[in-house]
Chains A and B, each alone.
Chain A
Amino acid sequence: MSCCKKLSEGAEAKFAELDAFIATLGVDRNDERRRGRLIQVLHKAQQIFGYLPREVQQHVACKLFLTEAQVSGVVSFYNYFTTEPKGKYCVDVCMGTACYVKGSEKVLSELERVLGIKADTHPTEDGLFSISALRCVGACGLAPVMMVNGKVYGKVTPAKAVEIVNEYKKQG
């Protein structure tokens, strides 16, 4: 299997960090549990790279003695894993039941309109923002809820959401 061959320029340090993590797991070719390690390794990889492009998936497959298809199948199954890069600021809009009935869909479509991108696709051209639609974040009392890089904003309206995003835009 021809993996582990090409690494993007400047990504060596990231791959090295991932390899160091995988090394602590002590996985070998005959380890039946290596498939069970996959999700753990993918979490780490996404934390390091921000997303899971094909190159990273191939690398993980090689290190865990799995096929690329096995890795790709898992990545495609879980919403949490993304194969698209994220913006500097990840804007998450909760689409859970409570937030939804309180109008989070309008918040989401206003953000998509203002930023000119669709949720769960590519980031804005300047690389600053990406939008994700999430399921319940467990803050239903504050519905509708949005988050920016994990910071929670409650009781947002479409107008308020745009204000919040503009604040981050100023910071650059």
Chain B
Amino acid sequence: MKTVNLTINGKAVTVPANYTILDAAKQLNINIPTLCYCAHLGSDEINKPASCRVCVVEVEKRRNLAPACATPVMEGMVVHTNSQRALKARRTVVELMLSDHPQECLTCPKNQYCELQKLAVEFGIREIEYKGEINKFPVDCSSNAIMRDLSKCVMCRRCEAVCSKVQTVGTLTGYGRGFKAKVGTASMIPLADTSCTFCGQCVNVCPVGAITGISYVKKVWAAINDPTKTVIVQTAPAVRVAVGQEFGFAPGVPVTGKMVAGLRALGFDKVFDTNFSADLTIMEEGNEIVERIKSGKNLPILTSCCPGWINFIEHNYPDLLHIPSSCKSPQQMFGAIAKSFYAEKIGVKPEDLIVVSVMPCQAKKYEAARPEFAPNGVRDVDYVVTTRELCRMFKEAGVNLANMDDEEYDSPLGASAGAADIFGVTGGVLEAACRSVYFMLNGKELEGEAINFHEVRGLAGIKEAQVAIAPGKTINVAVCSGLGNARKVLDMVRQDPNRFQAIEIMACPGGCINGGGQPFLHGDAGLLEKRMKGLYSEDERKVIRCSHNNPDIQALYKEYLGTPGSEKAHHLLHTKYHSK
């Protein structure tokens, strides 16, 4: 590899020739502040339009200041990252940005998580010299998942890059020019009318409060405090390895028991687990996989637990809508079972039972509001809050997870197998399905190490593998995360429908651990890796690793549903997809 020698702040360093000044400075542990720069997780895509000029540095023998994020290193280069000239320019840049930014930090949803605010703190900005016109754009709350407040937009265009290049959804674009420029949709139509999948990756990368989730926290508090309602909560698999981040736990450490205790302390009547319905999903989807493999029809089967991905296929691949599994997602299966089986069991009317989901996701808010998931006008899932929003609720109520003792989930919708935990990471759903499909096809359990399908694990965007579903019999599978990768895999399916028999797809790169509602990762792939390991450790911790061995699932079929794929199961747990 060709290398280059340069000096930064008097320190000599040798780096690969394709490095930028910013890359080289990182190698020396020299911090250069950035704003528009963003390494998008799960892809090679790096957003560096060099438009914000926050990372400018002084380069000797160069007339103007250089943006460190986009300036390649050169042999013999002498760089000063903190010269008076560079510091002054950076300060001016941030002051100019703030001069056209609503000064609403105290009430902004991104207060204390805002990268612009952080820069203002670091630069010690105390007054803004520049006064003038301030853009005031209308707030777009048209969807039930994502809110866009463009008056706060700093035109870093991270959202546009993640939407069009990583996810290939292409909803966002730079719109207009000059002072009035903003990141918009086509013809500035409301987000709800676009092909947005609500994956929420734009929410994750927005450095400021211009794109945030729509919050139902107030409604959840109101329900908890309404004596006429029974309020139950379900927690998605990926939440347990991310929520600790906000309470001083090491990244990725599962805090399941403390979270359960915390939810009880908030006042939920029962604390249940989406893991339970993840096991249920495996029973139904496993049954479907077995049937399709036996009949050879409608293959490959695609997983259907991710609502962002379902929105994507409904918008972009109407010709393939017959191949996703007809299973509802675990969130919706939980809602359907809660409002039927559980409501009957405890003698509460479905409309008086409030189901709250804690999800790592923005698209789950859209999914919960789909009309087909509100039989007789009563929604199966009433409110969705994200992991980030749950952390805020804990803090609001003075619940510090670090001080909580572990507690167990409630019965009968709280127990789960290890297979359910790994739903939260790319590859996990397929692995969980394979464990049970093997049993369904052969009538015997996978033994020893065979239960771990290492070939579908890891954070690679697209994984292809052959997995054993019976002694001596394998099927070809693909696992992908990130909608850009989903597009590649679906194009493969269009070209050769026989290439794969089963495919798992997650909208967010890495799966739900990197969901649009998770505590911010700020481009740190290491944190993602730790969350993944946290979920696999939860799986290994459990005695019961396969969904079909979950005793509460077995009891649910015995008492209520009959068998997987029964008429009742179909009615409650399956759905149809619509071309959009």
Contact = CB atoms under 8 A, between A and B. Distances in A.
A73 B175 contact: yes
A1 B315 contact: yes
B400 interface: no
Interface string A150-165: 0000000000000000
A2 interface: yes
B257 interface: no
A130 interface: no
Contacts of A54: 186-187, 189
Contacts of B315: 1-2
B245 to A, nearest CB: 33
Interface string B151-177: 000000000000010000011111111
Given A1-B315, A57-B186, A83-B187, A69 B176 contact: no
Contact of A72 (B164, B175, B195, B580): B175
A77 B164 CA distance: 18
A67 B186 contact: yes
Interface residues of A, number: 15
A70 B173 contact: yes
A145 interface: no
Contacts of B170: 67, 69-70
A112 B227 CA distance: 62
Contacts of B92: none
B316 A69 contact: no
Contacts of A1: 195, 315-316
A67 B187 contact: no
A69 B177 contact: no
Interface string A123-145: 00000000000000000000000
A83 B189 CA distance: 14
A76 interface: yes
Interface in A58-116: 58, 67-73, 76-77, 83
A73 B173 contact: yes
B185 interface: yes
A26 B429 CA distance: 44
B308 to A, nearest CB: 17
Kindly name the residue among A1, A2, A54, A73 whose own CB sees the greatest number of chain B CB atoms within 10 A.
Answer: A73
A69 B580 contact: no
B182 to A, nearest CB: 10
A76 B164 contact: no
B186 A71 contact: yes
Contacts of A68: 186-187
Contact of B177 (A2, A57, A58, A77): A77
B51 to A, nearest CB: 15
B316 A67 contact: no
A110 to B, nearest CB: 27
Nearest to A75: B187
A70 B186 CA distance: 8
A67 B170 CA distance: 6
A76 B175 contact: yes
A131 B176 CA distance: 20
Contact of A77 (B172, B176, B187, B189): B176
Interface in B1-20: none
B55 to A, nearest CB: 25
Contacts of A58: 186
A77 B183 CA distance: 12
A77 B178 CA distance: 9
Interface string B183-213: 0111101000011000000000000000000
15 contacts: A1-B316, A2-B580, A54-B187, A57-B186, A67-B164, A67-B170, A67-B173, A68-B187, A69-B164, A69-B185, A70-B164, A72-B184, A72-B185, A73-B174, A77-B174
Interface of B: 164, 170-177, 184-187, 189, 194-195, 315-316, 580
Q: Which 5 A-B pairs have the closest CB atoms?
A: A67-B170, A73-B173, A69-B173, A68-B186, A72-B186
Given A69-B172, A76-B184, A77-B177, 5 more contacts: A1-B195, A54-B186, A57-B187, A72-B175, A83-B187
